[in-house]
Amino acid sequence: MAAVAPQQAVLYDDRFLESFTGPNILRDPKTAVVELVANAWDAGATKVSIIWPDESAGICFSIEDNGHGMSEDVFSRIWRTLAYDRTKAQGEFALFPDDLALPPRVAFGRNGKGRFAGFCFGDEYFVETWRDGKSVTFKVSRGGGEQPFRLDKQDEAQKSGHGTRVYVESARRTTLPEVVAKAEIGMRFLTEPTFSVTLNGYLIKFSDIPEAHIDETTKKIDGLGDVKIIAIDTLNTDKTTSLHGVAWHVNNRLVGDCSWKYGEDNLLDGRYKAAKRFIFIVKSDFLANAVLPDWTGFNTDNDDYKKTLEVVLEFIKETVLKISKSERDETFNELKRVNREKISKMSMIGVEKWEKFIHSVQADCPTIKDRDLHQLAGILANLEVSQNQYALLHKLSEMQPGQLDELHTVLDEWTLDMAKIVLDELKNRLSLLSKLKEKVFDAGADEVQELQPLFHQGLWIFGPEYETIEFTSNQGMTKVIQQLFQADELGSRNRPDFAILPDSTVGLYYYPHYDEEGGEYGAARLTIVELKRSGIAIGEDQKAQCWKYIKELYSKGLINESSKVTCFVLGSTIESQETHARKEKDDRVVIKPLDYNNVITRATTRLHRLYDRVKNAPFLNKREIEEFIQRSEEFDKPQPSLFDITELK
């Protein structure tokens, strides 16, 4: 038996942690301290105390919170699990200690990388965590080889309360001043009044945020009072939108979460830089009566809330637009670059309208996604250079919301070219059916000039085989029948596709045989459509007449024994004993009598009764056709600017 090779451990390079967490957590003290405060936030803490390693505080770094703390087993499991999925393990909300009854708080962490932020201040750090009367301390140090980092238990002791302390005994000197650290923490964590952070014994307040980052304003709400709005711009965009958005404070308590959520919509798309950069704190104590009992939000039907929300949203829009102008300009320039070919074909007025509209959309629809804005810019550019220009938008503006949804579904499932092919074919067939209904029962209709051309287009009425085989007329066959019945030569010159007989007209449509070399030799299929004049009932004589000129075609060699021939004899009535088909040549020749009612029924059935459902379509209704033409003529006049279209439903 072959020996089993011993298992070999996975090896880790010294750079593994930096590759895993990203360089900022391990190198940038601003990012590191925010991550550590966020861990305290997720632990349900209400108080965080930081000792910052500057000259006044010595060389120690420490951050301590009064969160729920961890047992030894829980700490060991979490810290040893790389890519720890906090949301899966603990949920999306912070876990509060049992003695702290606070409203739900959305957790900051997601992937467990923030725990390594202690390495930013030293190659090893200590974690003391306590709960249920017992504390435990671990040393966490950088590793390599078979371990990316090490956990070594240092001590355990009796300790009351709950919390966690992360500290570095010999912290490396940081280049981040204490004042900047306070500003970075204040900009992100002052949204929750019940969460306080002290740094070197100093409670961080709004006044610690530099003027360049903060703007405070007071708005008067008629009949209610003043609402204070604090706008915070972190300048640098964070990784996520956590703790960004709008935080509503009522009686020094947070209502719901700090987020961009507004009902079912977002005030800002989370993928925008602005959504990861701005924080708005709204202090409105007079809205206490609008707060839901569990403080998860407001009663959106409350009139006071509606009135306040309108003012707040307008201020937020103005602020974001003012500060994010460079970002919007960057997007606008990219749109011009992508559409430069279309823009080059526009008039100067067209370019001006296009640019003005894009700027308007950016200002009025701050939540629009980049992908949608790119598509909209392309559509508008196409409209400017198209022949009909904004007439299409007029049509869209007349649609109801449900119709717009249906149009979207159609465009999802069909290309425009394919839909036009299908609709054109349906239009032609429906128009043909409409004309047949009008002409076949008209005693004054001319078979040659009016009826035969319709049936020339309508062979599909007689069966599915005519959908796939291209039938053409054969003047040689027509001439034989004309000579056989001494037909009117004048008429034949006017209508060479038809044989014009004393009591009828005959149209012949054939599909040829081809040999292996592609040469034509005789007819594979021949279809004859004979239209009897009004008042002539189809009987045995009429069938026999049809068989007579079929035999003549055999004798002239125009069809052979392998040819399949179908003759449709159409008239206003059929003798009661002659409704059956006559068959010859071992059923290779079939003569079928049909009255015009039957023809119309066949056509309607083959269109799956579609005619009855769309009989009011413009192309089937003369009055609507005229109105349609009038509307089209109006659109031929100079088109209005897009900005003259004041309402799109």
Q: What is the pLDDT of residues 468-495, one digit of tens each?
A: 556 666 666 777 776 665 554 444 344 4
Residues 187, 59: one domain? yes
Contact 529, 522 (CB under 8 A): no
- Beta strands in 21-169, from DSSP E residues, in sequence order: 47-51, 61-65, 124-131, 134-144, 147-158, 163-168
Average pLDDT value for residue range 128-141: 92
Strands 47-51 and 61-65, bridge-based pairing: antiparallel
Domain end (from 200, 230, 263): 200
494 vs 147: which has the higher pLDDT: 147
Identify which has the larger pLDDT, 436 or 629: 436
Domain presence at residue 548 = yes
Task: Identify the residue with better confidence: 66 or 458.
Answer: 66
The 3-state DSSP class for residue 507 equals strand
**Contact criterion met (CB below 8 Å) for 287 and 329:** no
pLDDT tens for each residue of 160-204: 999 999 999 888 878 788 888 888 888 778 778 888 899 998 988
Is there a single domain that holds both residue 559 and residue 488?
A: yes
Please give the order of strands across the beta sheet that includes 225-233.
214-221, 225-233, 278-283, 245-250, 253-259
pLDDT of 419: 62
The one-letter code for the residue type at 468 is: T
For the chain, what is the mean pLDDT? 75
400 and 252 part of one domain: no
Closest-CA residue to 31 (of 148, 113, 102): 113
Within a domain: residue 627? no
Q: Residue written as tokens 């526009």?
A: 346
Boundary of a domain, candidates 170, 200, 230: 200
Residue 580 lies in a domain: yes
Are 63 and 36 in a shared domain? yes
Same domain, 455 and 527: yes
Q: Whole-angstrom Cα distance, residue 300 to residue 261?
A: 13
Residue that is last in its domain, among 323, 355, 381: 323
Predicted TM-score (pTM) above 0.75: no
Residue 92 inside a domain? The answer is yes
Q: pLDDT confidence of 64, banded at 50, 70, 90?
A: very high
Q: Which pLDDT belongs to residue 167?
A: 92
Domain match, 318 and 333 both? no
On whether both 542 and 508 belong to a single domain, the answer is yes
Question: In terms of pLDDT, which residue wins out, 537 or 8?
Answer: 537
Helix axes of 29-42 and 178-189: crossing angle, nearest 10 degrees: 40
Q: Do residues 235 and 243 make contact, with C-beta atoms less than 8 angstroms apart?
A: no
In a domain, 597, yes or no: yes
Residue 627 has pLDDT above 70, yes or no: no
Pair of tokens at residue 515: 């040999």
What is the per-residue pLDDT for 494? 42
Q: Considering only CA atoms, which of 469, 569, 480, 476 is closest in space to residue 525?
A: 469
**Mean local confidence (pLDDT), 66-83:** 86
Give the domain CATH number at 173: 3.30.565.10
SS3 546: helix
Residues in contact with 359: Cβ distance below 8 Å, sequence separation at least 6, in sequence order: 332
Residue 137 sits at φ, ψ, to 5 deg, of -125, 130
* Residue 222 counted as domain residue: yes
Q: Is residue 429 part of a domain?
A: no
Give the pLDDT confidence of 225-241 residue by residue, as tens digits. 888 988 888 766 555 55
Instruction: Quickly tell me which residue has 């990316």 as its tokens.
Output: 148
Shared domain for 446 and 567, answered yes or no, is yes
Are 336 and 309 in a shared domain? Answer: no
User: Which domain does 591 fall in, by range?
Assistant: 440-611
Highest mean pLDDT among 353-367, 568-582, 600-614: 568-582
Distance CA 189, CA 41 (A): 9
- Specify the number of domains making up the chain: 4
271, 333: one domain: no
Asked, for residue 11, whether it belongs to a domain, the answer is no
Could you tell me which of 543, 537, 530 has the C-alpha nearest to residue 590? 543
How large is the average pLDDT for residues 563-585? 87
- Tell whether 51 and 151 lie within a shared domain: yes
Q: Are strands 573-574 and 537-538 parallel, antiparallel or unpaired?
A: parallel
Give the residue-averaged pLDDT of 642-647.
32
Say yes or no: 552 and 525 in one domain.
Answer: yes
Can you tell me whether residue 356 is helix, strand or coil? helix
pLDDT at 352 over 90: no
